[in-house]
Amino acid sequence: PTAVMWFRRDLRLADNPALVEAADAGGGVLPLFVLDPHLWGPAGAPRRAYLGASLRSLDASLRQRRAGLSVVRGDPVRRVVLAAKAVGADRVHVAADHGPYGAERDRRVEEALTAAGIELVRTGSPYAVAPGRVTNGSGKPYQVFTPFSRAWAEHGWRAPVDPPTGAHWLSLDEDTTDIPDPALPDGIALPEAGEAAARRRWAEFLDDVDDYADRRDLPGTDGTSRMSVHLKYGEVHPRTLLADLARRRSRGAATYRTELAWREFYADVLHHRPDSARDYYRPELSRMAYDEPGAEFDAWREGRTGFPVVDAGMRQLRATGWVHNRVRMIVASFLVKDLHVEWQHGARHFLQWLVDGDLASNNHGWQWVAGSGTDAAPYFRVFNPTTQGRKFDPDGAYVRRWVPELADPDRVPDPHDPDEATRREVGYPAPLVDHKAERQEALDRYQAVRA
Ligand code: FAD
């Protein structure tokens, strides 16, 4: 029987169980991608450009197998059914989507397919363990990371599967390979997209993984894997990474596995609490007094707060669509606790610019920093951006790299806290706020909610 492989967040041929299922059906396979205006619209330019590049890469791999990727635009409910009918398919294969929008979309697509006598078959997910699978002794979801990660590891996952061979690939008759190539704002450099690039980057990182635990918190070094964007689009599956990590005994490999577990944990939390994409995971925090985003919010977005590590992070975001994890925490804390702006505004800005922008990891990362998320991050632990900078960027390499005004060590000996005269001389702004005073203000507002 003929099948459709509907690609979404799994833009790869290797270790793709849904694709194997589609090919094993024995008939032809139509590789399909639907550009959904609902998702394409709100994505920022970097993410659109990256997705376009990733689709072109998948198309090229399929062309080597003598069929391209069929890319159509429109509402998936209509487009998937049309495509399936066009090739006479009786099954549409997908990897399950557990996000709030994706799960609902798939339910509607399934309904329309069923009405047409076509089956929607879900195999696997973008996670090693599908969201919803890991539960505690009484069958309830975990709300704290550490016990989740233990149960997650015990649950285990299947071994990676090989790409299908000998499939008979189909394509739609109409001209459907008009893969968009949106222009990027000047000066933005994105990582190379596609399955092969993801594998190369992973192989390179594996050579250094044993040092990961020592280097992952230093934004001035290239100490992290940069796999987030590849995982986001499923150019590689986390199972593939976990299988390689299992062959290593180092602390670095163990730490890396824990980071992957965070990704799975947040997807699980969002699956059980879809409202937490927008609302406070801990509702009591929604009663706190916040300020409306205004001129200070703009200064934050544009990287001119006068706090070097904050500005470096916000400029790195705009220049590359990626920010180091330590710095994501610092800039998020600054927005919520120094500028008293609600986390949702920051989360939205991040999703617009991050190429790895992912609803679960991003919005729960923000909630964690805002003290309203899982894992009881105590609200009163307010990051001091200057001490954070000194501690995690001790030689100032990160700040000097992304804030060119502070690059010259002769003119700016202390890049984390340049004095007033130096700031004036190099054209770097004075601090937007008094951190000590705003810290107190944040704590007072918090006390008012608790009272
Ligand atoms: P590595 O250090 O090499 O980590 C390996 C992988 O583990 C990552 O690729 C990622 O998949 C996972 N991971 C690591 N840390 C986390 C974490 N805290 N939460 C969830 N997964 C993690 N990650 C995203 O993928 N998309 C986002 O939109 C996103 N937004 C964030 C927003 C905030 C405010 C914060 C604090 C964190 C956010 N993160 C997000 C998590 C983390 O910052 C990135 O995954 C990481 O910086 C990506 O770089 P890397 O691949 O080099 O990470």
Whether 184 maps to a domain, the answer reads: no
Residue with CA nearest ligand 1 atom 10: 228
Q: What single DSSP character describes residue 334?
A: I
User: What's the structural domain count of the chain?
Assistant: 3
CB atoms within 10 A of CB 22: 28
pLDDT in tens, 94-104: 999 999 999 99
**Residue 165 pLDDT:** 85
Index of the ligand 1 atom closest to the CA of residue 229 = 25
**Residue 375 pLDDT:** 82
**Substitution site in 361, 367, 374 for ligand 1 pocket (most atoms within 8 Å of beta carbon):** 361
Q: Are residues 337 and 224 in the same domain?
A: no
Distance 324 CA to ligand 1 centre (A): 8
Distance 86 CA to ligand 1 centre (A): 40
HEC string of 217-236 equals: CCCCCCCCCCCHHHHHCCCC
Distance 354 CA to ligand 1 centre (A): 11
**Helix, strand, or coil (residue 309):** helix
Give, in order, the Cα–Cα distances in Å from 401 to each of 283, 354, 393: 39, 19, 11
Q: Comparing C-alpha atoms, which of 294, 227, 297, 290 is closest to residue 263?
A: 227
Residue with CA nearest ligand 1 atom 49: 226
256: domain range? 195-272
Domain boundary (228, 253, 272) is at: 272
Here the CATH number for the domain that contains residue 307 is: 1.10.579.10
Here the CATH number for the domain that contains residue 260 is: 1.25.40.80
Q: Are residues 259 and 340 in the same domain?
A: no
Q: Residue 237 carries which side chain, given as an amino acid letter? A: H
Are the C-beta atoms of 14 and 195 separated by less than 8 Å?
Answer: yes
Q: Are residues 365 and 446 in the same domain?
A: yes
Residue with CA nearest ligand 1 atom 43: 325
Q: Are residues 290 and 234 in the same domain?
A: no
Distance 229 CA to ligand 1 centre (A): 9
Ligand 1 neighbour 259 (Cβ under 6 A): yes
Extract the residue ranges of the chain whose pLDDT is less than 50: none
Distance 357 CA to ligand 1 centre (A): 9
Ligand 1 neighbour 365 (Cβ under 6 A): yes
**Residue 124 pLDDT:** 96
> Given 3-state DSSP classes, what are the helix, strand and coil percentages for the chain, each rounded to the nearest 5?
50, 5, 40
Q: Are residues 373 and 255 in the same domain?
A: no
**Residue 451 pLDDT:** 76
CA-based R_g, the chain, Å = 23
Q: Are residues 325 and 445 in the same domain?
A: yes
Gap between the Cα atoms of 273 and 255, Å rounded: 27
CA atoms within 13 A on the CB side of 39: 21
Here the tokens at position 303 are: 């990287």
Here the tokens at position 70 are: 């069929």
Domain boundary (95, 125, 155) is at: 125
Whether 37 maps to a domain, the answer reads: yes
Gap between the Cα atoms of 324 and 402, Å rounded: 12
Q: Comparing C-alpha atoms, which of 57, 5, 10 is closest to residue 240?
A: 10
Residue 111: partners with Cβ closer than 8 Å, 6 or more residues away: none
Q: Are residues 65 and 102 in the same domain?
A: yes
**Residue 175 pLDDT:** 64
**Residue 186 pLDDT:** 79
Here the tokens at position 174 are: 């109409």
Here the tokens at position 315 are: 């400029």
Index of the ligand 1 atom closest to the CA of residue 228 = 9
Here the tokens at position 228 are: 């987030």
Q: Are residues 287 and 262 in the same domain?
A: no
